[in-house]
Amino acid sequence: MLIYSEQRLVPTDVNMLVIRGKEEGYFYIHRSLYDQAVIINDIYKDTPELLRKAITGSEDTRDDVELFMSNAPSPINMLGPYLLLVKEQLEDFVDMVGAIHVMSGPINLRGMLRFPIEMRNNPSFSLSIKEEYELAWNRFFMTTMPFGEQQYVAPAIQPMNGTATVTVPTGEDELTNVGADGVEYADPLEALLFAPDEDIFKMPSTEEEEETTEQSADDLIAAALAITQAAANETTVEPEPVEEIPPANKPKNGLDMLASGLI
C-alpha cells in the first residue's frame, strides 16, 4: 500500500508509516512495502539502470520513471522503475504513486527480482490503473484524521449516583466559601472557622494602635487586681450558734433517783 496526500494525516491502519516528501506532501506506505523498498534501494541505489534491466530486460527509461525517482523520497523513489510495467507513460505524479500502489497488491516487487526475466511472465498494466487506486485511497482517507487535532476528548466528570451536590450561596446576606483572608475554602463553615477576621491577629502599624493596645492590657491587669483584692477583703461570716433544745422529761429510774439524792 502506497498513498500520497498533500495534507498531513494520522493513519489508523496498523503498520502504516508516514514519510514526508522532498518538497511537499506526505507518503503513507505499509511496512511490508517499505521493507521491500529498503532492500531494493540498498542493492540498486547506485545502479538504477540494472534495476530497470532486471524488471523489463532493458535499461531504457521513461520520463515518468525519472520524474518519480527525482520527486519521491528515499527509499520510495527506487520503486519508480516499476512504472515501466505500465504500457503507456503516466503524466500526473499522483497517478504514478497510485499505479505503484495497485502493482504492490498482487506482486511482491522484491520477490519478482529473484528470478531472471527469461524465467518469469512479467505482468503488464494499462492506463486504467489510474482509476483502480482511487477507491482504496478514499477508504484510507475516511479512516484518518488531520494531524494536530485532538485525538481524545475526555468526558465531563459527573457525580456518582446517590452523591448529593450543594450549591453554596454567595449573596451579600448569605454564606460564602471565601474567607476574610481571601482564600477560597471547600466549605463555607471552613471559611468561618479557619479564616477568622484579620483584625484579631493584626499587628499594630501606628503609634495610636500601640497605645490602644497598651491601654487595653493595663485595663485587663487592673481589673484582675481588683477582683483579687475584693476576694481577699471579704469578711468571713461565722455561723450562728445553734440553740440547744433540752431533752424532753422522761420517767426517772433508780439510778437517776440515787444520783439526785432522793434515795
pLDDT higher than threshold 60 for residue 170: no
Residues 6 or more apart whose Cβ sits within 8 Å of residue 134? 98
Per the model's pLDDT, the better-predicted residue between 209 and 48 turns out to be 48
pLDDT digits (tens, 9 = 90+) for 124-147: 888 888 888 998 999 999 999 888
**Tell me, what's the pLDDT at 38?**
96
Residue 145: CB atoms within 10 A of its CB come to 13
| Cα–Cα distance, 28 to 143 (Å, whole number) | 13
111-123: b (≥16 Cβ within 10 Å) or e: ebbeeeeeeeeee
Instruction: Identify the three-state secondary structure at position 114.
Output: helix
Confirm if 35 and 76 have CB atoms less than 8 A apart.
no
Over pLDDT 90: what percentage of the chain?
A: 41
Element spanning 259, H or E: helix 254-260
pLDDT digits (tens, 9 = 90+) for 191-240: 555 544 444 445 545 555 555 555 566 777 777 777 777 666 655 555 66
Confirm if 52 and 61 have CB atoms less than 8 A apart.
yes
Angstrom CA distances, 153 to 12, 141, 149, stand at 17, 21, 10
pLDDT higher than threshold 50 for residue 176: yes
Instruction: Copy the grid coordinates of residue 26.
Output: 506526505
User: How deeply is 51 buried, as exposed, middle or buried, from its count of CB atoms within 10 A (0-12, 13-18, 19+)?
Assistant: buried
User: How deeply is 83 buried, as exposed, middle or buried, from its count of CB atoms within 10 A (0-12, 13-18, 19+)?
Assistant: buried
pLDDT higher than threshold 60 for residue 164: no
Mean confidence (pLDDT) of the chain = 77
